[in-house]
Amino acid sequence: MQMLHFRVPTSCNGMRLNIFLRTMGVSSACIKAVKYQGTGFCVRLGDEVIPVHTDYRVATAQIISFALPPESPTAVQPEPLPIDVIYEDEFAAVLNKPAGIAVHPTLNHTSGTLANGWLYRLKCRGEDGVFRPVNRIDKNTSGLVLCAQNAFAAPELAKTAQKCYLALVEGPLPVGSGRIDVPIARRGDSIIGRCVREDGKPSVTEYTVLAASASHALVSCFPVTGRTHQIRVHFSWLGHPLAGDSLYGGHTDIIARHALHCAVLRFNRPADHEPRRVQSPLPEDFLAACCAAYLPDKEEIQTMLQSVLPCAE
């Protein structure tokens, strides 16, 4: 059972407890769960720790504490799968997902997913829990997946997470920055396919071309919105489909899956709001495709990424 503790700053003196907790980033759903399903809230007064209700008026320098309620049971089954954990603390974990593995079980992929492997990892540590991904990536997209360790952390992580994807696109593009702002809708001839269409949902991708050759370009992509297949659809519409992306017009001569990798994640750590930045190692098939396209090698690409989504000093 995880305990959370919050010191009341002067600016919050006299606030109702529920309003103070919302100010601290605790969601209303989490407050209700602690109130009705957990052990409630308490405050330290001198040497005493006493229970308080959500209408209690907090005072400067008081410590408000509560235990997160137990997680609801999950139907996902633990499976002994290798999980590459790049970063972990009591609030967040960042996993490095290889291409070919789904993030979460679906009708088509009921096992062998990142979720199954994560639950097995918890089981081996003697812990209960659920798999709570904050960002999801396609089965054949590789790279970083941010997960919340508990219900308290999830809203804050979702609110502050920023992602940078690396895409290898076909055709030369001028080095520099750009923005694709066109709506995306379901494609009528495909269950999973999407397309650019006037009646679609607003969709924005910002990007920077890091390097280009006569046949391909290496692009860092920042999805402002989070539509299904957004980066793939946007660059296909631009006339530069991702290498390996046969669904949207790409060719599989230098890579067998769409060349998209979530390379950098930046987020604020819940409770203290300190920024964290995680950078992923690049998968071998992506690097081999860059080599075949006469683009920068592993060390050069990693150096380029160092300036992406920096944390303030």
Is residue 146 within 8 A of residue 134, CB to CB? The reply is yes
Cβ atoms of 195 and 233 within 8 Å: the answer is: yes
Please state, for a pLDDT cut of 90, what percent of the chain lies above it: 77
pLDDT category of residue 25 using cuts at 50, 70 and 90? confident
CB 55 within 8 A of CB 17: yes
Q: Tell me, what's the pLDDT at 110?
A: 81
Residue 247 contacts residue 193 (beta carbons within 8 Å): yes
Mean pLDDT of 146-151: 92
Which of 91, 92, 132 has its CA nearest to residue 114?
132
The phi and psi torsions of 171 (rounded to 5 degrees) equal 90, 150
In tens, the pLDDT along 73-97 reads 888 999 999 999 999 999 999 999 9
Task: Judge contact between 59 and 17, C-beta under 8 A.
Answer: no
Closest of 61, 97, 53, 105 to residue 79, by C-alpha: 105
List, in sequence order, every residue forming a beta bridge with 145; answer none if it has no partner: 95
How many other C-beta atoms are found inside a 10 Å radius of the C-beta of residue 283? 19
The answer to whether residues 21 and 35 touch, using CB atoms and an 8 Å cutoff, is no
Phi, psi (rounded to 5 degrees) for 116: -60, -45
Q: Which two tokens stand for residue 235?
A: 């660059």
Q: Angle at the Cα of 283 (from 175 to 76), degrees rounded to 5?
A: 125
84: Cα separation from own chain's centroid: 15
Positions annotated as catalytic residues are: 138
Question: What's the distance, Cα to Cα, between the start and end of the chain in Å?
Answer: 34
Write out the two tokens for 153: 């952390």
Tokens of 234: 């946007």
Q: What is the pLDDT at residue 312?
A: 64
Cα–Cα–Cα angle for 68, 73, 77, nearest 5°? 130
Helix axes 298-305, 284-292, angle to 10 degrees: 110
Q: What's phi and psi for 35, nearest 5 deg?
A: -70, -45
CB 49 within 8 A of CB 65: yes
Within 8 A by CB and 6+ apart from 188, the residues are none
Distance of alpha carbon 86 from alpha carbon 280, whole angstroms: 8
Tell me the whole-structure pTM to 2 decimals: 0.90
Residue-wise pLDDT for 197-252, tens only, equals 999 999 999 999 999 999 999 999 999 999 999 999 999 999 999 999 999 999 99
Mapped to the 3 state alphabet, what secondary structure does 250-270 carry?
CCCCCCCCCCEEEEEEEEECC
Tokens of 167: 């895409």
The span from the CA of 112 to the CA of 76, in Å, is: 11
Position 151 scores a pLDDT of 85
Secondary structure in 3-state letters for 68-111: CCCCCCCCCCCCCCCCCEEEECCCEEEEEECCCCCCCCCCCCCC
Q: Does 24 have pLDDT greater than 70?
A: yes
Structure confidence at residue 189 (pLDDT): 77
